[in-house]
């Protein structure tokens, strides 16, 4: 694999989890040590914050939400991601700081640039080297969703804006983004990801 830290992004129901699991298996077969991490969460502190963020039991103010995402992310980068990479473990991340730019910056209208900067501080500039964006129409993806958490159960316009936020990110950071049509079959997308990441799928 030609980088150490790759993130998978997309709106709720875009199918990130299945792709990540398959890719991790391929890396295992190739004897490439890898770890799947998820945001929000991935550490004990992060999993506690996840509960605050996603439970239907709390009403969370948008800025509080953005700060909680930053807090769990700071913990994750320092406690898990950086040490793993130092130990030559490849990181496959289910979401990253780019989720916050799209969801909190654009979706919640806190500001694309502002939330980018806030996250840059939280992670000390340690952004994923590569990002796979699973692009999909929210009308399709929300239908696929089994259980919706607090953020995932918002209205359709919210997800349409998030999708636009992601596409803006993919244009601004085109050199590190691979945009895929999440309605295409999984095998086809997996092949494209392997080619892009320099992973030999046939092994
Ligand atoms: P996730 O567990 O990836 O849910 P799903 O698999 O359904 O996509 O993410 C949980 C929710 O948190 C999801 O609605 C997206 C949201 N989220 C943000 O709003 N900002 C963020 O920075 C992150 C990481 C997630």
DSSP codes joined into one string, the chain: ---SEEEEE-STTS-HHHHHHHHHHHHHHTT--EEEEESS-SSHHHHHHHHHHH-TT----HHHHHHHHHHHHHHHIIIIIHHHHHTTPEEEEES-HHHHIIIIIIIS-S-HHHHHHHHHHHTTT---SEEEEEE--HHHHHHH-SS--TGGGS-HHHHHHHHHHHHHHHHHTTTTEEEEETTS-HHHHHHHHHHHHT--S--
Length of the chain: 203
* Residue 73 Cβ contacting ligand 1 at under 6 Å: no
Residue among 10, 69, 95, 104 whose CB has most ligand 1 atoms within 8 A, to mutate? 95
- Of the two residues 121 and 148, the one the predictor is more confident about is 121
Which ligand 1 atom lies nearest to the CA of residue 53? 12
Tell me how far apart the alpha carbons of residues 104 and 62 are, in angstroms, rounded to a whole number. Answer: 7
pLDDT digits (tens, 9 = 90+) for 42-74: 999 999 999 999 999 999 999 999 999 999 999
pLDDT digits (tens, 9 = 90+) for 130-161: 999 999 999 999 888 878 899 998 999 999 99
* Residue 124, number of CB atoms within 10 A of its CB: 11
Residue among 13, 152, 161, 169 whose CB has most ligand 1 atoms within 8 A, to mutate? 152
- Of the two residues 144 and 122, the one the predictor is more confident about is 122
Q: Does residue 107 carry a pLDDT above 70?
A: yes
pLDDT digits (tens, 9 = 90+) for 169-183: 999 999 999 999 999
Contact status, residue 9 vs residue 95, Cβ threshold 8 Å = yes
* Residue 126 Cβ contacting ligand 1 at under 6 Å: no
Q: Please, what is the average pLDDT of the chain? A: 96
How far is ligand 1, taken at its centre, from the CA of residue 25, in Å?
Answer: 23
How far is ligand 1, taken at its centre, from the CA of residue 69, in Å?
Answer: 10
Contact status, residue 135 vs residue 180, Cβ threshold 8 Å = yes
In the predicted model, what is the mean pLDDT of residues 14-42? 96
Tell me how far apart the alpha carbons of residues 193 and 198 are, in angstroms, rounded to a whole number. Answer: 8
Report the nearest-CA residue for atom 22 of ligand 1.
Answer: 100
pLDDT at 203: 55
Q: Does residue 202 carry a pLDDT above 80?
A: no
pLDDT at 141: 93
pLDDT at 197: 98
Strand partners, 90: 34
Residue among 103, 154, 162 whose CB has most ligand 1 atoms within 8 A, to mutate? 103
* Residue 12 Cβ contacting ligand 1 at under 6 Å: yes
């Amino acid at each position: 694999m030609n980088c150490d830290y790759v993130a998978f992004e997309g709106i709720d129901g875009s199918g990130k989890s299945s792709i990540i699991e398959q890719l991790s298996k391929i890396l295992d077969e190739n004897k490439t040590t890898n770890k799947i991490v998820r945001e929000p969460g991935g550490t004990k502190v992060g999993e506690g914050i996840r509960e605050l963020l996603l439970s239907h039991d709390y009403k969370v103010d948008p800025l509080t939400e953005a700060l909680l995402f930053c807090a769990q992310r700071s913990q994750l980068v320092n406690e898990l991601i950086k040490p793993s990479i130092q130990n030559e473990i490849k990181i496959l991340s289910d979401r990253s700081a780019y989720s916050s730019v799209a969801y909190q910056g654009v979706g919640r209208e806190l500001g694309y640039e502002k939330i980018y900067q806030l996250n840059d501080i939280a992670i000390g500039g340690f952004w994923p080297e590569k990002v796979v964006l699973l692009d999909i129409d929210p009308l399709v993806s929300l239908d696929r969703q089994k259980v919706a958490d607090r953020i995932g159960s918002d209205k359709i316009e919210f997800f349409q804006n998030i999708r636009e936020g992601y596409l803006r990110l993919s244009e601004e950071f085109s050199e590190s983004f691979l945009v895929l049509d999440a309605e295409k079959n999984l095998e086809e997308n997996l092949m494209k990801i392997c080619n892009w990441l320099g992973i030999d799928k046939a092994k």
